[in-house]
Amino acid sequence: MSPFDIQSLADIQLLRESVDLECKLARGRDGQGALPDDFWPTYSAFANTGGGVVVLGLRERNDGFEVEGIANVAKVRKELFDGLNNRQKVSINLLSDADVTELALPEGTLLVICIPRANRKQRPVFLHGNPMGHTYLRLNEGDRTVANEDVKRMLAEQVEDSRDSRILRGYGLSDLCMETFRAYRQVFANREPAHPWNALDDLDFLRQIGGWRQDREIGESGLTLAGVLMFGWMSTLQETLPNYMLDYQERPEARIERRWVDRITLDGKWSGNLYDFYRKVYLKLTADLKVPFSLEKGERQDETPVHVALREALANVLVHADYSERASVLVVKRPDMFGFRNPGLMRIPRDIAIHGGEHDCRNRTLHKMFRLVGVGEQAGSGIPKIYDGWAGQHWRAPALYERMEPYNQTLLELRMVDLLPEDLLAGLRKTFGAGFDALQRNERLTLAAAASEKTVTHARVIEMTGLHPVDATRLLQSLVKEGFLESHNPGRGAVYCLPGAALPRPEEVFGEGSAVVPNRSAHLGSGSGHLPGRSGHLPAGSGHLQPAEPGQAIENQRDEAGRLISRQLDAPVLDALEQLAPAFRTALEGMAASPRSRKKIPKAAMEDVIVALCAGHYITGTCIATLVDRDPDALRKHYLRPLVQAGRLRFAFPTAPTHAMQAYRATQP
């Protein structure tokens, strides 16, 4: 993260929406200023996650900032750099003078500290000379201690440039599926019929591609991890890597529900290695793609940029996976999207990966093996190739992101959604005139999203455009300044809409007097089952109804599932569990069975349950809290608000984020 040009509180307000920002007081016992003790866990957390900004002498409030200032800034600055250069305090100094700036305001002087993300060889950044128990990550605006197992994995990543080159003692050619290996050799020979490697025996060929290696320092030779991953038997792979798991699922509907109609996994019916998985899955991913007639040098082309993007995405998920992690490799095909998940976090920052040019492949030998048979791009160019393929179709930009709970994983979502349909563009041109066409593409995309979805958020802009968070903030601020958008709820909860847009209000949906609503939902028993087939959409015949007049009760305006219907909203609202049809309520109870039966579950698992409960409709925070058996206020603070900020949920009432009847809907089906 490069240093920010911070000249005023307005600049800090800009950062508040786009990066991790932490405000801390620094008065000290004598009131002259002191570096707060809790700065160091935040330094470690920011460095080990995505970087961030710490502002000393400033208190953050929901409606803005309160400047307290620092009396003796030089003293605090000296304490900072003394600590940074003390290896018993922190493992590494990532800051230069340019990263620490003073901001003199009429109310007092602040110290602004820009902490970059540490690179792989600098992580883990830890405190007190011991990484175990003193390494932190930034999760949901808090600093969390890293488990010792994850610290050990970070240390391994630090020293191993390529995780797949190590020799496996006691393994031999009998541990390989020779049918897979010969299929690979045949593809290689078809591509390079005159290559001298075609004349080699199996062992020498394996040695040339990196599947067999000799370590001259210790006088040892044998199969490499890459060789076993690429060509091994399932039993050998799971003996070597206990967490090894591959999973392909074809799902019939555009929703979060995990029902599948076709699946490839480690079921003992095939070899279980990466090359066979790639061959099987690529054919299924591309089976339904239409290939328009195209000639190149007089020959018909049988693949499109979408084929290229899918091939690269599949290869990418296999060669960048950390097979020691507990998450599986997962590939999903749905009518509206393709999804790819690999265990392990990215080795380089997301924005650098998107723009290309820098590479740090976790399994470099695997990458070489795939490239030798025409799969995968030059190092550092794969992700840009995927983005280019999707941009060429005018589809929503790929979503590339990381998750650290319950396990480290990297996800890539490729959605086939036209962002600029012609009828929507015509409406925007009518509203804004020639000024709309004068905007840049990303600005037009943002306005199109605001028009079709009623509101747009900072996270949504990043998802659509792939912009760096700070650039996304600047884009939104520019559109507001030029009169193309209006802003509500400044800060991380900010939402934007077209000028004059009639955003829904709770009283228009629930009637007057809805500001304080008792929890009418009875305590639920555990249940099972799945949502009915149409649960993600309005049941047939439900229609749209007029909003209530002030003071009018609208309890009878419900669909067949028992959810409230209002013209003000684009989906039904689940506001009272006792109003639901019994089968529908039982299905929701089944989805929430895990958190209801256990007081402690992994944070990511709870988030997934909440998002699933919010799919296809709005549901009030009170109803969610009852379903998962948690305190409503704690749920809003620790889950609902962060999920909105992360772009996974959206408000029913963007202008009233703290309203008691606020409801939430999943942003993705």
CATH number at residue 447: 1.10.10.10
Provide the number of structural domains found in the chain. Answer: 4
Write out the H or E segment, with its range, that includes residue 306. helix 305-319
- Amino acid 525: pLDDT: 37
122-170 pLDDT per residue, tens: 999 999 999 999 999 988 678 899 999 999 999 999 988 888 999 999 9
332 and 199 together in one domain: yes
499-530 pLDDT per residue, tens: 988 788 888 888 754 443 333 333 333 333 33
266 and 409 together in one domain: yes
444 and 384 together in one domain: no
State the average pLDDT for the chain: 86
Contacts 24+ apart (CB under 8 A), 417-425: 417/336, 418/394, 419/394, 419/395, 419/445, 419/448, 419/449, 419/464, 420/394, 420/444, 420/445, 420/448, 424/448, 424/451, 424/452
Instruction: Name the pLDDT band for 351 (thresholds 50, 70, 90).
Output: confident
Over residues 8-23, the mean pLDDT reads 75
Asked if the model's pLDDT at residue 667 lies above 50, the reply is: yes
Q: Quick check: is 190 in a domain?
A: yes
Q: Which residue has the higher pLDDT, 345 or 602?
A: 345
Q: Which residue has the higher pLDDT, 405 or 82?
A: 82
Burial pattern 653-667, b for ≥16 Cβ within 10 A else e, equals bbebbebbbbbbbbb
Q: Which residue has the tokens 């709820």?
A: 489
Q: Which residue has the higher pLDDT, 294 or 366?
A: 366
239 and 122 together in one domain: no
Name every residue whose Cβ is closer than 8 Å to that of residue 30 and which is 6 or more positions away in sequence.
Answer: none
153 and 203 together in one domain: no
Q: Quick check: is 634 in a domain?
A: yes
Asked if the model's pLDDT at residue 534 lies above 70, the reply is: no
Q: Quick check: is 592 in a domain?
A: yes
522 and 490 together in one domain: no
544-565 pLDDT per residue, tens: 333 334 344 444 488 889 999 8
Query: What's the CA gap between 277 and 265, in Å, rounded?
Result: 9
450 and 528 together in one domain: no
DSSP states along 599-636: S---HHHHHHHHHHHTTTSEEEHHHHHHHHT--HHHHI
pTM of the entire predicted model: 0.74
Asked if the model's pLDDT at residue 108 lies above 80, the reply is: yes
- Amino acid 299: pLDDT: 54
Over residues 284-303, the mean pLDDT reads 70
Of 497, 529, 562, the last residue of a domain is 497
Over residues 288-294, the mean pLDDT reads 70
Over residues 40-55, the mean pLDDT reads 94
- Amino acid 467: pLDDT: 82
- Amino acid 532: pLDDT: 36
- Amino acid 354: pLDDT: 86
SS3 for 522? coil
Name which of 392, 252, 257, 278 is nearest 336 in CA terms.
252
Instruction: Name the pLDDT band for 288 (thresholds 50, 70, 90).
Output: confident
380-417 pLDDT per residue, tens: 678 998 998 998 888 888 889 888 877 889 999 998 88
- Amino acid 606: pLDDT: 92
383 and 493 together in one domain: no
184-206 pLDDT per residue, tens: 999 999 999 999 999 999 999 99
SS3 for 586? helix
Instruction: Name the pLDDT band for 625 (thresholds 50, 70, 90).
Output: very high
Which whole-number Å values give the CA distances from 582 to 280, 579, 585, in the listed order? 42, 9, 5
Q: Quick check: is 308 in a domain?
A: yes
Of 391, 415, 439, the last residue of a domain is 415
410 and 429 together in one domain: no
**Which residues sit opposite 523 in a β-bridge?**
none
- Amino acid 257: pLDDT: 66
Asked if the model's pLDDT at residue 60 lies above 90, the reply is: no
Residues of the chain with pLDDT > 90, as a percent, come to 57
Q: What is the CA radius of gyration of the chain?
A: 27
Q: Quick check: is 575 in a domain?
A: yes
543 and 464 together in one domain: no
DSSP states along 83-125: HHT-TTTBS-----GGGEEEEEETTEEEEEEEEPPP-TTTPPP
- Amino acid 379: pLDDT: 67
Query: What's the CA gap between 210 and 55, in Å, rounded?
Result: 49
Of 104, 124, 159, the last residue of a domain is 159
Amino acid at 134: H
Q: Read off the DSSP letter of residue 215.
A: E
Query: What's the CA gap between 472 and 630, in Å, rounded?
Result: 35
What's the CATH number where 408 sits? 3.30.565.60
182 and 250 together in one domain: yes
Q: Quick check: is 293 in a domain?
A: yes
Query: What's the CA gap between 186 and 177, in Å, rounded?
Result: 15
Of the listed ranges 75-84, 218-227, 413-422, 593-602, the one predicted with least confidence: 413-422
Asked if the model's pLDDT at residue 256 lies above 80, the reply is: no
Q: Which residue has the higher pLDDT, 267 or 64?
A: 267
Q: Quick check: is 457 in a domain?
A: yes
Task: Kindly report the length of the chain.
Answer: 669
- Amino acid 605: pLDDT: 86
Over residues 454-466, the mean pLDDT reads 84
Q: Quick check: is 171 in a domain?
A: no
Provide the residue range defining the domain that includes 225. 178-415
Asked if the model's pLDDT at residue 463 lies above 60, the reply is: yes
410 and 427 together in one domain: no
- Amino acid 528: pLDDT: 33
Asked if the model's pLDDT at residue 456 lies above 60, the reply is: yes
Query: What's the CA gap between 45 and 115, in Å, rounded?
Result: 10
Q: CA end-to-end span of the chain, whole Å?
A: 33
